[in-house]
Amino acid sequence: MASTNERAPRRRVDARSSVERITAAGRTVLGRGDGSLEQIAAEAGVGIATLYRHFPNREAVVRAVLDDILETDLLPLIDGAADAPDTRRALQDIATRLLDLITEERGLVTFASNFADVAVDVLQHFSASLHPLLVRGQQAGEIRPDLTAEDIPHFLVMAVAGLALPGTAPSLRARFVALLFDALDPAGATPLPPLLTGEEDLRTAVGNVTRT
């Protein structure tokens, strides 16, 4: 008979396998459009109780899917941009690819009631990977010097909230991403006002709009 210590690693492996299957199923189901937790569980080949044990709500599924998108599809692009001759252009290409990936998961934005809130949290972890690229661009005079790594998730969520909605044409996304990234050009840039503690941030503001 297996001891408790022998059973524990097996449970951890099974749990990890279930999480990976549910995350992959989330991408598949949401890629088809609107879906439900029940559909995701069925796609993953697990019971709904197993899904709820690892993902207590829709936001948890969206968080896992976004993490997977960033890890598997976007981080290689960031690594490849390390030697890009035009850093601001490289960042713009990364943002465009992020929007493309989120748009491809057609039901992702509408699946969670507070998608913007989840997206900011996920992108905050991701911003550390962009920080060396940002610093290099600032040192080369390609990016305004008052932009910080903490600004990047909010900057990207502005684009996601407005340009990753289902049905948004790629040409429209490209047009407004170009406008957004023009704001990073140090030439003629207006100095950014300081952030004040205690004020609601973009995540809260966008979340309030999407819930009304």
d(CA 192, CA 65): 33
pTM: predicted TM-score of the whole model, two decimal places: 0.74
Q: Are residues 63 and 26 in the same domain?
A: no
pLDDT band at 105; cut points 50, 70, 90 = confident
Q: Are residues 69 and 108 in the same domain?
A: yes
Domain extent at residue 33: 1-56
Q: Are residues 94 and 52 in the same domain?
A: no
d(CA 115, CA 110): 7
pLDDT band at 15; cut points 50, 70, 90 = low
Predicted pLDDT of residue 61:
95
Task: Give the count of domains, the chain.
Answer: 2
Compute the CA torsion angle 76, 80, 81, 85 (nearest 10 deg). Answer: -170
d(CA 47, CA 63): 20
Cα-trace Rg, the chain = 19
Going from the C-alpha of 31 to that of each of 16, 21, 40, 105, 155, the distances in angstroms are 22, 15, 11, 4, 25
